[in-house]
Every structure is written in C-alpha cells, then in structure tokens.
C-alpha cells in the first residue's frame, strides 16, 4: 500500500524500531507542515493510508472529498482535527487507539520539568549566565507548596505523584465521579474550581479537549490565583478562554505560567504575546515528543495499518463505514 506520514518534522519515524512493521509498503514521510488544501491534495492524491502525528494537520471535508484513493487514516489518541463524518461519507476508516490505560509519561515528565524551570527561573538564569551576567534573580522552591491538579486522569495522576515526591501538598479538582476516585486513592479534593485556583500555589491543567471542557478555565478563575502562583498547561490551549491567560499574566494573577500548547500551532510568530513575557516558560508542544513515546505511539499506529491490510481493522472510530465496504 501507499502510505503517507505527515508532519514528521525531524524525519524521526524512519529511525524507530517499529518502522520495520511497514516493510513491503511504499512509505513517504513529509518533514514540513502544510495546511493548504490544494497543497495537501497534491501530496496525498495517490495515498491509500494516511498516518497523522496527533493533531498537527486538520483533515476536513474539502480535502477528504478529493482523496479518492484514501482508505485508512491511522493515528493515536483524540481526533478533534478530523472530520469523522466526512471520512465516513468518503469510505475512509479512521483507526485511533485511545490508549485508555497508559499514561503519557513523556507529557507528565515535561509538565514537571516546565514547573521546575518556571519556579526557579531556569531559562532566564541560563541566558544570564551565557550573557556574562551571572545570576539574574531569586526563584522559589516547591516543597511545602500546594499543587492543584485540575483534571485527574492518567497524566494528572502521574503529576500528583511527582508532587508528593517533591514534598508538595496536592489538591485535586475534576468531575464528581473522578473526584470520588481521587479521594479513594487518598488525595485531598477541592470543593470547587474556584477554590482550587484561589488556594493553590501551582495549578496544573490535565484534561482532554471535548465540548464540555472547551474554555473551562475562565478569566475569572485565573484572577483568583495568588500573585506568586504558577499556571501550567501542557494539555490543550483551548481549555482556557481565548486571551484569558495573557490578560491574567499582565494583571499579575497568576505571577507566572508554563505552557506547551497554543491556540494555533505551529507558532511561527516570535512576537506571540506569551513568547514576549519573562514570566512565561514556553515549549513547542513537545509533551508527547520523546523517542520512547514515539515508539509506543507508532507501534500502535502501525499495528492498525497491519490489521487493516489483513482485512480486520481495529480501533475503528467510525464503525459504520465498515458496513458500507
């Protein structure tokens, strides 16, 4: 089959051990990012199987309608960037392993790394040293501080455990059913989202982006945070009300932020407001980007391709398309 991989920025996938699973297939990997419909249609005109790296490229009806040879989209995790109904209309199977039982350790570790970097002003201290200025300020330690975990899923649970190891007090807020699980596992919970944001020294956001969570963090919540508090978002930018974080930082509540996600990605504009603030430590959506995470992710993606080739597709999101074939 003719397989195309999009947005493999550093040509990483060919170097993975699991890439051997595609032996015998014709594979093309694109190392740039392209969202233009005409351009993508040209690149994908002969593609039978499309491999996506998370949500880097939107796959919508105008494009799908032109990809007459496409039969399978194989990816991992959530799929808000894909028009599932258009896939079904065009006879395209969407296979996406949700990995419900496996936390993203890479994302949890990055969350903690960003928090440490923000608390201790590590990027500014590094730049100061390189500029010949030695130290440039005084950071804060995390021990005995209060970490609020907003959203207690797989990643949130890992981050809470890291915090405990660092001697932090941890408070959880999430849906009621999730709060019951958190309490059963021995964690303290907040009475409300407002209480979480008001009482914690750090709030770290960990939830999937669905209709019910979009813009769940309002400007009013951020305004409740302490002037020296840190807000961390390695989940999805759209969980926060548009413009609210920039405005809150300018107003001084919270005092700092650490972010790995943006409203529009990739960010090519160096004058993006968050990138202009000394109070922000930002990374280019690398939460899931590690060799180990890629091996797990692409092993699952390639398993889906092999299952489709064997006539037994797995992890199918739009199962109704199977009834048409």
Catalytic residue, chosen from 265, 272, 295, 306, is: 265
Residues in the chain: 325
Strand partners, 26: 2
Q: Is 110 exposed, middle or buried (0-12, 13-18, 19+ CB in 10 A)?
A: buried
Do residues 209 and 238 make contact, with C-beta atoms less than 8 angstroms apart?
yes
Q: Is 21 exposed, middle or buried (0-12, 13-18, 19+ CB in 10 A)?
A: middle
Catalytic residue, chosen from 76, 150, 206, 285, is: 285
Whether a cis peptide bond, with omega within 30° of 0, leads into 254 is yes
Going by C-alpha positions, the residue among 196, 200, 190, 201 that lies closest to residue 217 is 196
Structure tokens at 319: 């199962």
Backbone angles phi, psi at 301, to 5 degrees: -65, -45
Catalytic residue, chosen from 206, 236, 241, 296, is: 236
User: Quick check: is 285 catalytic?
Assistant: yes
Active centre residues (catalytic): 236, 265, 285
């Amino acid at each position: 089959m003719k397989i195309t991989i999009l947005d493999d920025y550093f040509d990483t996938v060919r170097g993975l051990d699991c890439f051997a699973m595609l032996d015998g297939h014709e594979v093309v990997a694109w190392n740039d990012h392209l969202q233009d419909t005409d351009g993508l249609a040209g690149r994908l005109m002969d593609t039978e199987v499309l491999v996506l790296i998370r949500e880097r490229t939107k796959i919508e009806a105008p494009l799908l309608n032109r990809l007459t040879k496409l039969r399978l989209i194989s990816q991992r995790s959530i799929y808000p960037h894909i028009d599932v109904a258009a896939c079904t209309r065009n006879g395209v199977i969407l296979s996406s392993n949700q990995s419900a039982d496996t936390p993203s350790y890479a994302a949890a570790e990055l969350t903690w790394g960003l928090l440490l970097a923000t608390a201790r002003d590590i990027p500014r201290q590094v730049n100061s040293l390189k500029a010949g200025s030695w130290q440039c300020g005084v950071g804060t330690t995390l021990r005995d501080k209060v970490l609020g975990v907003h959203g207690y899923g797989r990643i949130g649970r890992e981050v809470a455990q890291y915090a405990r190891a660092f001697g932090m007090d941890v408070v959880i807020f999430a849906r009621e059913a999730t709060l019951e699980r958190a309490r059963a596992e021995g964690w303290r919970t907040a009475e409300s989202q407002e209480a979480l944001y008001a009482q914690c020294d750090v709030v770290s956001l960990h939830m999937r982006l669905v209709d019910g969570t979009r813009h769940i963090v309002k400007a009013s919540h951020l305004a409740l945070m302490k002037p020296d508090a840190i807000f961390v978002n390695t989940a999805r930018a759209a969980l926060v009300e548009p413009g609210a974080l920039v405005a809150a930082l300018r107003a001084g509540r919270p005092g700092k932020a650490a972010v790995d996600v943006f409203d529009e990605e990739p960010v090519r504009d160096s004058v993006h407001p968050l990138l202009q603030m000394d109070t922000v430590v930002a990374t280019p959506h690398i939460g899931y980007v590690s060799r180990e995470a890629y091996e797990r992710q692409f092993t699952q993606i390639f398993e889906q391709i092999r299952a489709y080739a064997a006539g037994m597709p797995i992890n199918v999101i739009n199962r109704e398309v199977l009834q048409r074939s």
